[in-house]
Structure 1
């Protein structure tokens, strides 16, 4: 247990927290909020894979040109060669950022899908040996309370999309990532000398945990890319190779949807544990986008952005 418990009576810093499953529009919402309504804000990443440098397409990092000049912290900053970035380390680094941002009279906005990091950062007392997501109901009420009491004054925005609509979107997004150069990026990242190529390895760390890496490591073991030839990887006409490629893509799509399901389950767990999560239903906006996108922005603004602004304004 750490010493933050002894400071719970101090005035708490205010933090906006945008949560949601992968692909639910968290980054889009954060940029919209800062650009249009809360310009004196800075964003702190809470996606544990996006902490690391590299694989920007595979990890779906928001491109610099889409950030509208909004400062982003802990996004692509850490060298994966230095090992795993732990929840305890994230708590320390992100906590320092919140202190710094608020000291400059700006609003920290926490954005990302790694609910374990969000929990580690926000709770007053953090014990890495205890998890609010694992057998929480079996713990005593006292321990439950210790695991969920917040050290900040938080405004939670849970961007939710019906799972079927979100799944359809995630399948589409994987195809778009592949069209944007994801395979070339993974081919360059592939290390044939690595001893960490087991598809089911429990020992992967850092970027090697990113969905897409283990799936294509297996593929590249059979059909190695040409080293140093970024941009030239092509799937041949051989039916067996094409089948192996399609298998890797299907695995990425399946694993992405499973990740979204687990993330939603964790968010529901936090809500049941007492966190006051303001649920924003983005289903209609995503359905419109999948149907052609004609009214997507209009629906997004009306049903996602405007309700989010109202919730955030309650913090002030």
Structure 2
């Protein structure tokens, strides 16, 4: 889609960008983990009097610098960093509304000091809340005077209630996705209107905005997508995990493990599905840590360590792919919906060659930031480099629309919420692996029953057998 809009952008973007200097500028640094987002943000802050706001959910937590991959004090180079190490490990993770409220407060304080706010981080639904209106239904606010005990019930009960008042949303969410189910039900209870209706109206407003209907706020944001080729990034991430291990990763895993045991001793059950417990590294090395505490066989412990390392590398690579996909599909489409000025505010800078980071990333970003702050004309995003043209021309085009249809795979004990997801699942390696394993177990079970069947017949035949001797 971007490629089709290219000629139009080339004619109009210079005029648009040169109209005015932004009254409330915001720089945003995006990208998957391991691409160099933090390094670019610090460099821009140093050059343009900036302060950095963290938008990484795991880095909100205090301590644990290795497992959360926090930027060190020396790497911060004296630049103020906000919302970094901000909450205790035993606190629930911030939801989008909380992050948006706190980040907006910090941004206001930074601007009050005459400095430039720079938002950087890989939790992209946090970033989207700061960039786009209606992403979290901003016009729907919970009334604190109202109390609905049902919202504190088990997830299954919430889903049953949601099916009664908003079956469209109930079919959309996975049965275990408590947060989304609870939010949809909360919207209905506080407003009396189904969340699905709010979302339908939201889509209509966006469509109208694209057509130029209605007043729109000026777009005063400049975005940098720090991008690295997948193969290069894969190797870089694997090496980073090795360095994390050498730097003391397992000490932090042990720290969290002991924290969990202490809570359990006090009859406190932690929700391991959210918060710091979802940081990449803890889950993968918890079996190893448990084995160390239980003093199992050294060979088994060593195997668990190697397995944990491999699993952590795989999880890190999957997360990087997920972040890239989010930018390419979700954020680029939302920028398109905001209009041409927003669409051409995202510039891709290539960090594939780490030895040329300054030349390929810092210098282009600094030049564009200077033009942005001064209100000067900027080049179209796809003309920044061949890599930018290659990647951006393929970004933003929506994938085929998926058909809502909940189906349960009894074999894998998993629920799929669209017909396309079901097809991908049954064709996937994981499903085939489970099916093959169960078939093998069934075969072994059948073979093990055959001697028993023969044995059950032997008493009846024993007289004849005895007569043979």
- Find the partner of 2:361 among 270, 293, 304: 304
| 1:279 match | 348
| 1:168 match | 235
Asked whether the equivalents of residues 272 and 278 of structure 2 are also in contact (C-alpha less than 8 Å), the reply is no
Cα distance in 2 for partners of 1:183, 1:62 equals 19
Query: For 1:40-64, what per-residue CA distance to the aligned partner results, in whole angstroms no more than 9, with x for missing partners?
Result: 2100001111011121111110111
State which drifts further: 239-248 or 143-152. 143-152
Give the number of aligned pairs: 273
Cα distance in 1 for partners of 2:307, 2:206 equals 42
Q: CA 1:146–1:78 in 2, change beyond 3 Å: closer, same or farther?
A: farther
Q: How does 1:47-196 map to 2 (within 5 A)?
A: 47-127=56-136, 141-142=203-204, 144=206, 153-190=220-257, 191-192=260-261
Deviation at 1:203, TM superposition (A): 5.0
SS in 1 for 2:353: helix
Asked whether the equivalents of residues 17 and 111 of structure 1 are also in contact (C-alpha less than 8 Å), the reply is yes
CA RMSD of aligned residues (A): 3.0
Q: CA 1:166–1:143 in 2, change beyond 3 Å: closer, same or farther?
A: farther
Higher helix residue share: 2
Asked whether the equivalents of residues 124 and 151 of structure 1 are also in contact (C-alpha less than 8 Å), the reply is no
Q: CA 1:245–1:203 in 2, change beyond 3 Å: closer, same or farther?
A: closer
- Flag the structure with larger Rg: 2
State which drifts further: 142-151 or 68-77. 142-151
| 1:254 match | 314
Query: For 1:111-140, what per-residue CA distance to the aligned partner results, in whole angstroms no more than 9, with x for missing partners?
Result: 111110000122233426999xx9xxx978
Query: For 1:131-187, what per-residue CA distance to the aligned partner results, in whole angstroms no more than 9, with x for missing partners?
Result: 9xx9xxx97852545999878611000000001100100000000011001111111
Cα distance in 1 for partners of 2:92, 2:102 equals 16
- Find the partner of 2:299 among 239, 248, 255: 239
Q: CA 1:28–1:81 in 2, change beyond 3 Å: closer, same or farther?
A: same
Query: For 1:26-77, what per-residue CA distance to the aligned partner results, in whole angstroms no more than 9, with x for missing partners?
Result: 1111112222x21x21000011110111211111101112211100000011
SS in 2 for 1:315: helix
Query: For 1:239-269, what per-residue CA distance to the aligned partner results, in whole angstroms no more than 9, with x for missing partners?
Result: 2211111001111000000000000001112
- Aligned: 1:26 with 2:93: no
Q: CA 1:150–1:183 in 2, change beyond 3 Å: closer, same or farther?
A: farther
Cα distance in 2 for partners of 1:267, 1:205 equals 23
Cα distance in 1 for partners of 2:251, 2:310 equals 18
Q: Which runs of 5+ in 1 are unaligned?
A: 1-10, 196-200, 227-235, 286-295
For normalisation by structure 2, the TM-score amounts to 0.54
Q: CA 1:118–1:224 in 2, change beyond 3 Å: closer, same or farther?
A: same
For normalisation by structure 1, the TM-score amounts to 0.78
Q: CA 1:263–1:182 in 2, change beyond 3 Å: closer, same or farther?
A: same
Q: Which runs of 5+ in 2 are unaligned?
A: 1-21, 141-168, 173-179, 181-198, 211-215, 265-269, 337-342, 374-469
Cα distance in 2 for partners of 1:309, 1:30 equals 10
| 1:198 match | none
Cα distance in 1 for partners of 2:333, 2:301 equals 47
Cα distance in 2 for partners of 1:151, 1:194 equals 49
